[in-house]
Chains A and B, each alone.
Chain A
Amino acid sequence: MTATMQPESEAAEAPRRGGHTPGAGQKTRPRGQGLQFGHWWWALPGIALVFAIHYVATGIGGFFAFTNWTGIGSFKITGWANFEAIFKDPTKVGALSNTLFLAFGSVLLGNIAGLVIALGLNRVLKTRYILRTLFFMPVVLSPLATAYIWKYIFDFDGPLNAFLTAVGGADQAKPWLADPQWAIWTVLVVLVWSSTGFAMVIFMAGLAGVPAEVEEAAAIDGANLWQRFRNVTLPAIRPAVAIATTLGIVQGLRVFDPIMALTGGGPAGATETLATQVYKQAFALGNFGGGAALALVLAAIILIFAVIQQRLTRSNPED
């Protein structure tokens, strides 16, 4: 896209490229004088669009959280009634705990799997780039398509039960997605499957930054594999861990598409999450006020965990 402009700018940059002239760069930037390059009003269209689509719409939605609006017609302001209703309704409390279980479960398992694969692929493997591509493949698929594939795998007539029967575990075969106890685990499997490749890529980039000499030195000093990982590798990839887990939790708390395609929240609400409940309340059941209140709770939870996560795993606090 930018290729056509490249030669021209290359020529302009050439004399200064690669050198850090003393006094150049950020330090000479005059403080407090506003913009030296560009005009401030260049940012206006972007700010206006984000403000309208994110803040105004969310603000209006947030306002309706305190009303009994159905989505059309008139409404009354009901104060905290919608929020009280949430914590009295077992389905919604269940959705809250399912959401937390899925978010933390998928982040934990996806990151462990991603880390193990990244460590396995680190250094000297001949086919590491092919393997990396293969493990990353599920990440680019749409959650909807992924969910349909797994829906078949967990189907009663599907491959999982066929496999169990073939290896003599026929009594273990069950309708996985319709089993109240197992359904949530099937959702977890799907989430882990589609997020492992993402964590792996982040960890591989982090591991690539660990100099081989440092690891060698540790090995010569007699550190075993675990000690080397614990004391050399892990500190070096901390920023990568922070990013992979923060994004994973934010994504996990919002999980919607895979559940709608896999179980629709069932059986009997066993896989209901906050996001699916918001959708059902607001769009299907005509309880927009209640749905908005639930969405506000979800937003608060996401915000809290994002902040905690940032604090916990931040590598250098002065950043």
Chain B
Amino acid sequence: MFRYTKLTLLREIGLWALALLFLAPFYFLVTTALKPDNELFTTSALAPPKSPDFSNFVDVLTATGNSNVVMGLVNSLIITAGSIVGLIALGSITGYVISRSTRRWSKGAYYLFLIAIILPGQLGAVPLYMGARSLGLTGSAWGLIVLYTGMLLPLSIFLYANFFRGLGTDYEEAATIDGASKSQIFSKVVFPMMAPATGTVTIFAGLIVWNDFFTSLIFLGGSDNQTLPVAMYYYIGSLVSQWNSIFAIVIVSMIPILALFLFAQKRFIQGFSGGLKG
């Protein structure tokens, strides 16, 4: 009975109209970024540029100092990749142990992580900053990787633990009978099985770390070693209503994540909807 009828066609057209309206901000983003300075205030905000101009993008990519975008891009990549590795390594093993253990402490640990997910970060931010500074973790990519790993670890452990709860112990038992050691069981049997949870953790953590502004603003403060959002923030801070230049850097900062999303959109959406059902 769910056939493609005229009504379905109407629904499809209606949703496309809605989608175009919904994505109208992207139209303004692109058209404005391509406007040369002299068109910015002389043409209507709704109109496309008369003579599209890429000089705004050239300016963005050649900026130096703490708004060095290329540097920010590299830093963001290193920090995001490093945090993801840390979150997968620590999250998987911790989630595994606390969900497999039947002792009481593991339940306590589970709630410890659950509550940590919803604690607002601002309360601990200043003590954390002072602690990180005395350990020499501020101003460097390494420091941020440690911080992000610690900050997002509860979420990672939670996702892994929920995944293991739905998984029987058959494979582990079989591997034990075959004579595998505990660490072999984890690395060769369990870890490959949790690929879906690993995918979800990668996507969540990747998005949060890549897009985060507040933490890197505070912990990298002052150094020229900035992440992309902070470089964008500083770059825009020097512009007042120069929307063509502002949008050029906004586009540059968006391209990596949008490209990755469009390339792997199925995994992204599955990660979001699947990881949260547990």
Residue of A nearest to B213 (CB): A144
CB–CB B122/A12 < 8 A: no
Closest Cβ–Cβ distance, residue A103 to chain B (whole Å):
13
Judged by DSSP, the binding face of B is helix
The reply on A125 being an interface residue by CB < 8 A is yes
The reply on B139 being an interface residue by CB < 8 A is no
| Cβ proximity bits B4-35 to A, threshold 8 Å, 1 near / 0 not | 10001001101110110011111011001000
CB–CB A198/B150 < 8 A: no
Which of under 10, 10 to 19, 20 to 34, or 35 or more describes the interface residues of B? 35 or more
Write out the residue numbers on chain A whose beta carbons fall within 8 Å of the beta carbon of B44.
162, 166
CB–CB A50/B185 < 8 A: no
The reply on B96 being an interface residue by CB < 8 A is yes
CB–CB A296/B123 < 8 A: yes
Write out the residue numbers on chain A whose beta carbons fall within 8 Å of the beta carbon of B173.
24
Write out the residue numbers on chain B whose beta carbons fall within 8 Å of the beta carbon of A247.
276
CB–CB A136/B101 < 8 A: no
Residue from A6, A29, A219 in contact with B192 in the complex, judged by beta carbons closer than 8 Å: A6
Residue of B nearest to A61 (CB): B123
Residue from A5, A13, A137, A239 in contact with B171 in the complex, judged by beta carbons closer than 8 Å: A13
Query: Contacts A40-B97, A60-B127, A132-B269; is A50 near B3 (CB within 8 Å)?
Result: no
Closest Cβ–Cβ distance, residue A210 to chain B (whole Å):
12
Write out the residue numbers on chain A whose beta carbons fall within 8 Å of the beta carbon of B176.
37
CB–CB A37/B100 < 8 A: yes
Which of A78-86, A104-112, A299-307 lies on the face that meets chain B?
A299-307
Write out the residue numbers on chain B whose beta carbons fall within 8 Å of the beta carbon of A162.
44-46
With the chains together, A50 CA to B150 CA distance in Å?
6
Residues of B within 8 A of A (CB): 1-4, 8, 11-12, 14-16, 18-19, 22-26, 28-29, 32, 41, 44-46, 88, 90-91, 93-94, 96-98, 100-103, 106, 109, 112-113, 115-116, 118-120, 122-128, 131, 147, 149-151, 153-154, 157, 168-176, 178, 182, 185-193, 195, 198, 202, 207, 210-214, 218, 229, 232-233, 236, 241, 243, 246-247, 250, 253-254, 257-258, 261-262, 265, 268-269, 272-274, 276-277
Q: A28-B169, A32-B103 are in contact. List 20 more A-B contacts (CB 8 A).
A: A13-B193, A16-B174, A37-B169, A38-B186, A46-B90, A54-B150, A58-B123, A117-B15, A124-B2, A125-B12, A126-B4, A132-B269, A142-B229, A144-B211, A148-B246, A162-B44, A198-B272, A202-B272, A240-B277, A298-B123
